[in-house]
A and B are shown apart, each in its own frame.
Chain A
Amino acid sequence: MTSRRDALLLALGGAALLAGCGRQQAEKRTDRIQLWVAPNAAEESFWKIAVARWNAARLGLPVTFTTIPTAGNSEDTVLSALVAGTEPDLCTNVFSGFAVQLAALGQVVNLAAMPGYDALLEARHMRSIMAGWEQGGQVVALPIYSSPTLIWWRADLLEANGLSAPPATYADVYRFCERYAVRGTRYGMQVVAGRAWQDRWFDFISYYYAASGGQPYLSGNKALYDNLAGLQAARFIDRMYRQGWTALDFDAEEPLVSGLAAGAVRGPWDVERFANIYPDTLARIVVGPMIAEAPPTTTRSTFSDSKGVVIFRNSRVQREAFAFLNWVLGEEALNLLWLQRTGLSPARDDLLTNPAFADYYRGNVIARAYADHVATAWPPALSEHTIDIQKIMSARLVEPLMLGTTSPAAALGDAVARTDRMLEVQG
């Protein structure tokens, strides 16, 4: 017969297990700074060197870093860590919309209030870039890199059809499509990036920024894109579909490789992908600006897919963590190292004028094109309702234009009205 003690132990064990499910705030360390970085080899190799240099030079509290322990996406992991109280002091790879959500939940600190913030903006030449990251005088994430969206064109196909330079206006694209596109068989350009809400960054929002000179598409609880720039972008999408110059989707293959489409919106992160998988195609790529109705007079605006760094509210070494950030982002040698390791442009507006980066860009035409647009590339609207805003943009604007069920003006008006209504309800 088994004693009651065994039964009691079983019950206690179960209770202990259940108790472990509760939220526990791990004791935050004060003797070191904990940093999470993006889970990719290129960025990890940069942080390995940067952290080693910081620790060796004893410039402040020692830093330990690890990649964000995620098998899926970083946001879920960061959120889980915050709920469990196991978040680090600093975390990179945070997109602006998520940073705003974290700020609304009171989980990140205002970096603009940190000592040395202004000096960092000056030292890193990022004051013009910060306009898209400030909300009500608060900065909850500091952009590490900025990846403008530009249009890749197959240079050989452009040349064969009489274009010596990449199209810069809608009219240029139409002229090229008239010569190159064959309805149902090959297309002038991939106009819509995909069906997911994130894809709007790489089509309508990019076109809108280009057409409007970087004007915001949202302010507070109001959508702002029902204007001339929005209409021009919507008409462009509509015309490309009505003429059969673009396909409903390009999910089956990378269209630039076979020439299924001669142009497509691509970011600097695609350079490494193409270099690994399609090196022959990459050699034939020429990068053009984001297209708009009017010819460009200065560097054209576009969307910036940027990721930033945040400091969490529960960190007990906030100032020390910011001091580390100040050093790592402010050091030009480290900015160059970042560029060399990741190929992603640091979020600073002097990339093509600063001699420190001259050698890198001299030998890298595609990277230079992206660097040229960093200062005029804008992040997404700072809203905690990013998903709903862009889902409405997809369902009410882009998809009706793809299928031709609504006119550009009507679709634009409907999308904006619904966005305003949604934002009003959400408060």
Chain B
Amino acid sequence: MLRNLWLRRQWSREAVIGLSLAGAYLLFTAVFWAYPFYWLAKLSVTQWRFFDEPVFTGTRNLLLSVQDPQFLQALWNVVRFLGLYLPIAFGGALIVAFGLQHVGRGKAFVALCFLLSNVSSGVALSLVFAKIFSSTGPLNTMLFAWTGVRVPWTNDPTLAMLAIALVVAWKFVGYYGLILYSGLLAIPKEIQDAARLDHAGPWTRLTRITLPMMNPQLMMVLTFAILVSFGLFTEPFIITGGGPSDSTATPQMMIYETAFRRLQPSHAAMMSILVALVTYALVQLARRLFERKVVLA
């Protein structure tokens, strides 16, 4: 009797409905996250080459990864990429956000147009941009006609990274712009009006009111940008192939090549864990440095 009572309490109708609703997600997570994650963790501390049993090797993969100059170069390339990408992405996104404020009719259509680049196939747009940036492509042909100079967009280490940053920014600026636009809409008009009454100029209002009050959205964009940077694969893979001299090789390219071209999945697993940790550390650092609490009293 008591036992039945206990079970009834444990398995109430609400609990079962809740479990059923959450069950699908839990099952999905178990299959597509927990199980691969378990394998990833196991691979990172073992030696496995697809067909044999994993053999525990302790820190071997860790030491291999941190001593691998190509992997370290790939991580450094992400920092170089961020140095070019962040100003372009933030500049472009702010222009989109402020621009949208001044669009009268058809605002939703304009916003959707910006999103189009975001949902475009990365492969397709990389192929198009590879042609545009080619030393014999339309951009260089135009430049050569005007100035007599061809710019080695994809053959100089810095310019090649800039070319990739421009392509990725083109893809994401609209999306980031919409996030920032939502932040702009959330700023009470009264605050801006009050600042105007106090004779605050446009620059002062931007730097003292608008941007600080958009801090949550700016942080969100910054976090997304960091995640995008560490996840870069398609654009450098197609546009520069990681060259020249591995200057645009990314950690994701390294992981892919190590696992599926060099057939060293254990080494690649450790690389992916390190990339995840570095990404997390950089996001936390960015939050520490730039995140501010915005409270509207």
* A interface residues, Cβ below 8 angstroms from B: 1-2, 4, 6-7, 10, 13-14, 17-18, 21, 75-76, 79, 82-83, 101, 105-107, 184-185, 194-197, 247-253, 255, 260, 384-385, 387-388, 391, 394-396, 399-400, 402-403
Q: A79-B50, A82-B50, A83-B51 are in contact. Are A403 and B244 (CB under 8 A)?
A: yes
Residues of A within 8 A of B245 (CB): 395-396, 399-400
Stretch at the interface among B75-83, B205-213, B258-266: B258-266
* B257 lies within 8 A of chain A by Cβ: yes
User: Contacting B138 at CB < 8 Å: which of A195, A197, A252?
Assistant: A252
B residues 1-56 near A (Cβ < 8 Å) are: 7-8, 11-13, 16, 19-20, 23, 27, 30-31, 35, 49-51
Q: Are A247 and B244 in contact (CB under 8 A)?
A: no
Per-residue interface assignment for chain B, residues 77 to 114, with 1 indicating a CB less than 8 Å from any chain A CB and 0 otherwise: 00000000000000000000000000000000000000
Residues of B within 8 A of A196 (CB): 241
Q: A1-B11, A195-B154 are in contact. Are A251 and B131 (CB under 8 A)?
A: yes
User: Contacting B243 at CB < 8 Å: which of A14, A251, A260, A395?
Assistant: A395
User: Contacting B131 at CB < 8 Å: which of A13, A75, A252, A396?
Assistant: A252
* B137 lies within 8 A of chain A by Cβ: yes
Q: Are A1 and B13 in contact (CB under 8 A)?
A: yes
A14 and B32 CA atoms in complex are apart in Å by 12
* B60 lies within 8 A of chain A by Cβ: no
**Interface size bracket, B side:** 35 or more
Stretch at the interface among B144-152, B166-174, B192-200, B280-288: B144-152
A83 and B132 CA atoms in complex are apart in Å by 40
A197 and B70 CA atoms in complex are apart in Å by 15
Residues of A within 8 A of B156 (CB): 403
Residues of B within 8 A of A106 (CB): 51
**26 A-B residue pairs with CB within 8 Å:** A1-B8, A1-B11, A4-B7, A6-B16, A13-B27, A76-B260, A79-B263, A105-B51, A107-B51, A185-B144, A195-B244, A196-B241, A248-B152, A249-B134, A250-B134, A251-B134, A251-B154, A252-B138, A253-B131, A387-B261, A395-B245, A395-B246, A396-B245, A399-B244, A399-B245, A403-B244
What's the minimum C-beta distance from A357 to chain B, rounded to whole angstroms? 36
Q: Are B51 and A249 in contact (CB under 8 A)?
A: no
A247 and B138 CA atoms in complex are apart in Å by 14
Q: Are A83 and B136 in contact (CB under 8 A)?
A: no
Residues of A within 8 A of B27 (CB): 10, 13-14, 17
Q: Are B11 and A249 in contact (CB under 8 A)?
A: no
Residues of A within 8 A of B279 (CB): none
Q: Are B243 and A394 in contact (CB under 8 A)?
A: yes
Q: Are B23 and A252 in contact (CB under 8 A)?
A: no
User: Contacting A105 at CB < 8 Å: which of B8, B148, B263?
Assistant: B263
* Chain A residues touching B, majority SS: helix
* B226 lies within 8 A of chain A by Cβ: no
Q: Are A255 and B136 in contact (CB under 8 A)?
A: yes
Residues of B within 8 A of A13 (CB): 27
* B interface residues, Cβ below 8 angstroms from A: 7-8, 11-13, 16, 19-20, 23, 27, 30-31, 35, 49-51, 130-138, 144, 148, 150, 152, 154-156, 240-246, 257, 260-263
What's the minimum C-beta distance from A154 to chain B, rounded to whole angstroms? 16
Other A-B pairs beyond A83-B51, A251-B131, 8, CB < 8 Å: A6-B16, A17-B31, A107-B51, A248-B155, A250-B136, A252-B134, A391-B242, A399-B245
Q: Are B244 and A395 in contact (CB under 8 A)?
A: yes
What's the minimum C-beta distance from B91 to chain A, rounded to whole angstroms? 28
User: Contacting B260 at CB < 8 Å: which of A75, A252, A394?
Assistant: A75
Residues of B within 8 A of A76 (CB): 260
Q: A1-B13, A2-B16, A184-B144 are in contact. Are A247 and B135 (CB under 8 A)?
A: yes
What's the minimum C-beta distance from A257 to chain B, rounded to whole angstroms? 12
Residues of B within 8 A of A385 (CB): 262
Q: Are A7 and B19 in contact (CB under 8 A)?
A: yes
Residues of A within 8 A of B50 (CB): 79, 82-83, 105
What's the minimum C-beta distance from A386 to chain B, rounded to whole angstroms? 9
Residues of B within 8 A of A388 (CB): 262
Q: A7-B19, A194-B241, A252-B131 are in contact. Are A247 and B136 (CB under 8 A)?
A: yes
Residues of B within 8 A of A105 (CB): 49-51, 263
Residues of A within 8 A of B155 (CB): 248-249, 399, 402-403
What's the minimum C-beta distance from A193 to chain B, rounded to whole angstroms? 11
A21 and B37 CA atoms in complex are apart in Å by 13
Q: A17-B31, A18-B30, A82-B51 are in contact. Are A253 and B136 (CB under 8 A)?
A: yes
Q: A75-B260, A105-B263, A248-B155 are in contact. Are A184 and B148 (CB under 8 A)?
A: yes
Residues of A within 8 A of B49 (CB): 105
Q: Are A387 and B257 in contact (CB under 8 A)?
A: yes
Q: Are A248 and B11 in contact (CB under 8 A)?
A: no
What's the minimum C-beta distance from A3 to chain B, rounded to whole angstroms? 8
Residues of A within 8 A of B16 (CB): 1-2, 6-7
